[in-house]
Amino acid sequence: MRGGMATVKYIVYGIIALLLLFIVLAGTGYTKAYMDTKSIINHGIQTVEKLSYNGLDQLQDDLEYLQSEKDDMTLFSGYSKIKDIANQTKEKEGELNKKYKSKVEKSRELLELNLEAYQIELIDTENITIQNREELENYINYFTESFVEIDLNLNDYNDLLKELEQKNAILTTQVDTTQKKILFESLIEMEAEAEELAIFFEKRGMEGQQEDMNQFLSKAKDIRVLQKYQKKNYKEIVSVLEEHVYPILNKSREEQQKTYDKEIAQREVWIEQEAKKWIGKLPPKAPKEGIWKQIYINIWSQKMYLYEDEQLIFSTYITSGKLSTPTVRGSFSIYQKTPGRYLSGDGYRLWVDYWMPFYGGYGIHDSCNSVDCWRSKFGGDDYKWGGSHGCINTPHSAVEFVYKWADIGTLVYVD
């Protein structure tokens, strides 16, 4: 009897031992499953934290939620729940992986499109080539070929995305810098044009238009020099120019063209009037070719001729210097225009209404006005003994015409 009881006792002990062993082994497996799950979720969170792309906020929120769920779990909360969290984490990582791969592909396409678009834009502008263009093209080709052949992990995709975005940023900055350089060079050319326009308007007494050009020059220089514009990109600067600067220059160009049209129409009238003086005779040609305005003074004929675009528009008799004080001969230009002053010399002080010196004290002026009148007849040979001290004495109505027509710098050729 006692022997039978002992046997039962040992059997019970054995069963208990087996149960304990099973519990220990199950617990160990359960613990390992829990730790593996925790590792999976932690990996998902760490992966998101390392990524640079900020457009996946929802996925990041989902993973962080799973992290909080995991933190609330205990070893005995239920294996199925822990496993479910791990599976969800893997799904989210897989979804993140697909989106990153798509983002990388789009970034590569953007780099390719930008390279082509920027190159076309620069060639159309100044016929220049993007620096390292061949290197970028090779990079894109290599990337395209290798990208379809491999399946990268999330961190690799992230690194590629950073690299692509960096190359895109460098390309954009390089092209923007080049475009700004071209733009500023064109501004310098426009400033030179504006300076010429200012002179054009100044000669014609068009003060409003001259002030417009001064305003343009000030604004254009500010855009080229001031730091606040240097920090702007090309398109921002173009926007400022189109709104505040270009319209000023365009308006002045139109005003200049209108003025030219009026002057051309007036010139045709002068040419027609002058031609009537030369019926049956051949007028002298302009002494110089390619000169817009020039004055020709012929000592032998005692005449002065005005040419515009090499066409004779006006002529008048004059009296030059006598033989003892002859008029200087050669090519000169008017360097001053004075509306009224006294001319003084050895034994004389006389008033003139119009004074246009072209070489030292030699100049063109009137010799009979409301203050002084010492010569009223012009032309003929009497200049040889009764001429001027070297200046060109001109009828009052004629010198008034010359004064209004001539500019500072107009050629004067004396022969």
Count Cα neighbours of 122 within 13 Å in the Cβ-side half-sphere.
22
Q: Which two tokens stand for residue 97?
A: 């992986």
Three-point CA angle 219, 220, 222, nearest 5°:
65
Q: Are 288 and 411 in contact (CB under 8 A)?
A: yes
Tell me whether residue 224 is in a domain. Answer: no
- The Cα–Cα gap between 162 and 103 comes to 11
Tell me whether residue 312 is in a domain. Answer: yes
Tell me whether residue 216 is in a domain. Answer: no
Q: Are 312 and 306 in contact (CB under 8 A)?
A: yes
- The Cα–Cα gap between 173 and 118 comes to 11
Domain that holds residue 380: 293-414
- Supply the CATH number for residue 346's domain: 2.40.440.10
Three-point CA angle 105, 54, 70, nearest 5°:
110
Compute the Cα dihedral for 210, 215, 218, 221 and give only its sign. Answer: negative
The one-digit pLDDT tens for each residue of the chain (415 residues) are 555 555 655 555 556 555 555 454 444 555 555 566 556 556 555 655 555 544 455 556 666 666 666 566 555 555 566 666 667 766 776 777 777 777 777 776 776 776 676 666 666 555 556 666 666 666 666 556 555 555 666 666 667 767 777 777 777 787 788 888 888 989 999 999 999 999 889 888 899 999 999 999 999 999 988 888 888 988 899 999 999 999 999 999 999 999 999 999 999 999 999 999 999 999 999 999 999 999 999 999 999 999 999 999 999 999 999 999 999 999 999 999 999 999 998 888 999 999 999 999 999 999 999 999 999 999 999 999 999 999 999 999 999 999 999 999 999 999 9
Q: How far is CA 6 from CA 1, 16, 20, in A?
A: 9, 15, 21
- The Cα–Cα gap between 33 and 79 comes to 8
Count of the separate structural domains present in the chain: 1
- The Cα–Cα gap between 168 and 107 comes to 8
Phi, psi of 235 (to 5 degrees): -65, -35
Biggest CA-to-CA distance, the chain: 177
* Bridging pattern class, strands 348-352 and 355-359: unpaired
Q: Which two tokens stand for residue 11?
A: 């059997």
Q: Which two tokens stand for residue 93?
A: 């990582």
Count Cα neighbours of 295 within 13 Å in the Cβ-side half-sphere.
30
Tell me whether residue 228 is in a domain. Answer: no
Element (H, E) at 330: strand 330-333
Tell me whether residue 69 is in a domain. Answer: no
Element (H, E) at 332: strand 330-333
Compute the Cα dihedral for 280, 283, 289, 291 and give only its sign. Answer: negative
Q: Is 293 helix (H, G, I), strand (E, B) or coil?
A: strand
- Note the pLDDT of residue 178: 81
- The Cα–Cα gap between 317 and 257 comes to 34
Q: How far is CA 148 from CA 7, 20, 94, 151, 156, in A?
A: 71, 54, 18, 8, 14
- Note the pLDDT of residue 26: 46
Which DSSP letter does residue 324 get? T
DSSP string, 185-227: HHHHHHHHHHHHHHHHHHHTT-HHHHHHHHHHHHHHHHHHH-H
Element (H, E) at 411: strand 411-414
Q: Between the CA atoms of 262, 264, 265 and 269, what dihedral angle is there, to the nearest 10 degrees?
A: 130
Count Cα neighbours of 369 within 13 Å in the Cβ-side half-sphere.
22
- Note the pLDDT of residue 168: 75
Tell me whether residue 218 is in a domain. Answer: no
- Note the pLDDT of residue 130: 63
| Closest by CA position to 388, among listed 413, 366, 411, 415 | 366
Tell me whether residue 212 is in a domain. Answer: no
The pTM of this model reads 0.60
Which DSSP letter does residue 277 get? G
Q: How far is CA 8 from CA 4, 11, 22, 394, in A?
A: 6, 5, 21, 153
Q: Where are the alpha helices (DSSP H) in 226-298?
A: 227-230, 234-240, 246-275
- The Cα–Cα gap between 383 and 374 comes to 14
Q: Are 408 and 290 in contact (CB under 8 A)?
A: no
Tell me whether residue 96 is in a domain. Answer: no
